[in-house]
Amino acid sequence: MLPSAAQDLPAIPFVAEDTHLGVASCAGSSCHGALEPWTNSTVLQNEYIIWEEQDPHSGAYKTLLTDESQRIANNLGLGRAEEADLCLDCHADNVPVERRAKGFQISDGVGCEACHGGAVNWLGQHISGDANHKANLAAGLYPSENPVARAKLCLSCHFGTEDRFVTHRIMGAGHPRMAFELDTYTWTQPAHVVVDDDYWARKGTIPSVQVWALGQVVAVDSLLDAMLDPNRNTDGIFPELVFFDCYACHHPLSNIRWAPRDSHEIGPGIPRIYDANIIMMRVLLQRIDPALADIVSIKSKALHQASLQGYDAVIDAARGLKDATEGIISRLASHSFTAADTKALLAGILTEGLSGEYVDYAAAEQATMAASAMLQTMADDDMISRAKYMELSAVLDDCYTVIEKDESYNPRQFLAALQKLQSAIQSL
C-alpha cells in the first residue's frame, strides 16, 4: 500500500473542524496510558507515558512559562507568553474555544489530538474495538502514517503555515532557529510506535529514504508558499529573513568561509536564499527524473539570482520553481524506492558535498540527516549487514560532530568527514 495523492489529504488537526477532547481522554490505563507496553496488542498502549516522560511536545506549553520565553514575549511586546496566541498556536493544541470539550486543557501542550486529530467523532468507535484504522480515518483520525500528511503536519509547526509562522523578528527576539528533517525527527521525537511486520501489514511499508524524500519536497513547497504569501514575505522594507541562510549573516567575523558554488552566482558579502532543502530535492530528482532535475537547477539558480533584483523578481522565480515541481509530491509518494535508488541517492548526497555545495551550515546539517536515513534504509532492507551498518554509522558520526555547533561550523572539516564516508561506502 502506498500513500495517497497529496491533494486527497485531510486538513491538519489545527484547522480541521472536529472538537478536541483533551489528552486525559486518551491516557486511561486501559487505553494509551499503560505503564509498560502490552504484549498482546498491535500498538504499544504506553504512548501516553512515552509522550509525557520523553517527548518534548508534552512540555511545549511549560516552555512558555520559562524566563527565556518571557524574554521573547517582552521583546515582542506580547505580555505573558503563555497567554499569547502567537506562542500557543505551536506550543499547545490551540484550537478555538468552541472546538474544546470539557476535559480539554491548554496546559497539556502539543497533545495527542494536535497530531492525531480531534477525537470527538472517532473516539467512541475506536474504544469499542469494532472499528479498524480505515473507519477511524473516515471519522477524522489524521493519517500520520502517511509521510506526506506527516510532513505537512510537522512542518506546520516546525516551519509554519499562513496561520502560524516563526518570522525572523520572532527569532531576533530570541526564538531558536528551526531545523527539520522528517525521518530523523520522527525517530528523535521519540516515536511511540514500533515499526515491525505487524505495523507494515496494517499501515504499509514506507522506507526511511521515502520518508526523507517526501519531507524534502514538502519542505521546499512550504518555503515557496511562504515566499509567495504577501502576509509573510516581507517585513517593512526588508524581505522576510528566514528565507535566507541564517549563517550568511550570523557567524563570527574571524571565521571566513565564503566560497563560490555551482548552484548560484551570488557573490561574497550578499545574503543567500536558504536552499538546503532545494539541494536535497535536486539530488533526489537527479535519480528519479534527471530531466526535471536539470529544470530545477535552472529554476533554483534563477531564484537565487532574483534575490539580487527585488521582490517581484523573487516572487516570479518562486512561482517558476513551484510550477516546475507541480505534482512531484504525488509522484514521489507513489514511487517504489529500490535498493539501487537508495545507493544512488547516498552517492548523490556525497557528490554534491564534495563539489562544494555544503559551504553553508544548514546544507551540511540536511546532508548528514539524509545520509542517516539512507543508511537506515539499507539496514532495514538487508542491503547491508548489521555490522556494516554500525561501521558506517560510526563514520557518519564524524559528520554529526562537525555540525554539532552551528556557529563554529567549518566547511573544510565537513568535506574531510564526507571524504571518509565516501571511501567507506566505496565497497558497497
Q: Which residues bind ligand HEC (CB under 6 A)?
A: 23, 26, 32, 43, 47-48, 51, 56-57, 59-60, 63-64, 68-69, 72-73, 76, 81, 84, 86-87, 89-91, 110-112, 114-116, 144-145, 150, 153-154, 156-158, 160, 164-166, 168, 170-172, 175-179, 185-186, 188-189, 192-193, 199, 203, 241-242, 244, 246, 248-250, 271
Burial grade of 266 (CB within 10 A; 0-12, 13-18, 19 or more): buried
The answer to whether the beta carbons of residues 84 and 78 sit under 8 Å apart is: yes
| Min separation Cβ 321 and ligand HEC, Å | 19
| Min separation Cβ 246 and ligand HEC, Å | 3
Cα separations (Å) of 142 from 2, 76, 134? Answer: 16, 34, 11
DSSP secondary structure code for residue 18 in this structure: P
Give 42 or 385: the residue with its C-beta nearer to ligand HEC: 42
Give 56 or 327: the residue with its C-beta nearer to ligand HEC: 56
| Min separation Cβ 211 and ligand HEC, Å | 10
Give 64 or 332: the residue with its C-beta nearer to ligand HEC: 64
Give 181 or 287: the residue with its C-beta nearer to ligand HEC: 181
| Min separation Cβ 277 and ligand HEC, Å | 13
Give 323 or 407: the residue with its C-beta nearer to ligand HEC: 407
Partnered with residue 100 across adjacent β-strands are: 20
Give 165 or 343: the residue with its C-beta nearer to ligand HEC: 165
| Min separation Cβ 145 and ligand HEC, Å | 4
Q: How many CA atoms lie within 13 A of 152 on its CB side?
A: 21
| Min separation Cβ 94 and ligand HEC, Å | 8
Secondary structure tally for the chain: helices H, strands E: 21, 2
Partnered with residue 160 across adjacent β-strands are: 165
| Min separation Cβ 40 and ligand HEC, Å | 14
| Min separation Cβ 247 and ligand HEC, Å | 8
| Min separation Cβ 270 and ligand HEC, Å | 9
Which DSSP string do the residues of 43-104 spell out, in sequence order? S-S-HHHHHHHH-GGGGHHHHTTSHHHHHHHHHTT-S-GGG-HHHHHHHS----GGGB-TT-
CA distance 242 to 227: 10
The answer to whether the beta carbons of residues 82 and 70 sit under 8 Å apart is: no
DSSP secondary structure code for residue 244 in this structure: B
CA distance 218 to 213: 9
Partnered with residue 238 across adjacent β-strands are: 235
- The 3 state secondary structure assigned to 319-373 is HHHHHHCCCHHHHHHCCCCCHHHHHHHHHHHHHHHHCCCCCCHHHHHHHHHHHHH
Return the closest-CA partner of residue 17 out of 118, 142, 135, 134: 118
Give 120 or 288: the residue with its C-beta nearer to ligand HEC: 120
Give 48 or 348: the residue with its C-beta nearer to ligand HEC: 48
Buried b (16+ CB within 10 A) or exposed e, 134-145: eebbebbbbbbb
Give 239 or 411: the residue with its C-beta nearer to ligand HEC: 239
| Min separation Cβ 102 and ligand HEC, Å | 18
- For 239, the enclosing helix (H) or strand (E) is strand 238-239
| Min separation Cβ 26 and ligand HEC, Å | 4
Give 84 or 344: the residue with its C-beta nearer to ligand HEC: 84
Give 180 or 414: the residue with its C-beta nearer to ligand HEC: 180
Question: CB atoms < 10 A from the CB of 1, how many?
Answer: 12
Return the closest-CA partner of residue 14 out of 142, 104, 130: 142
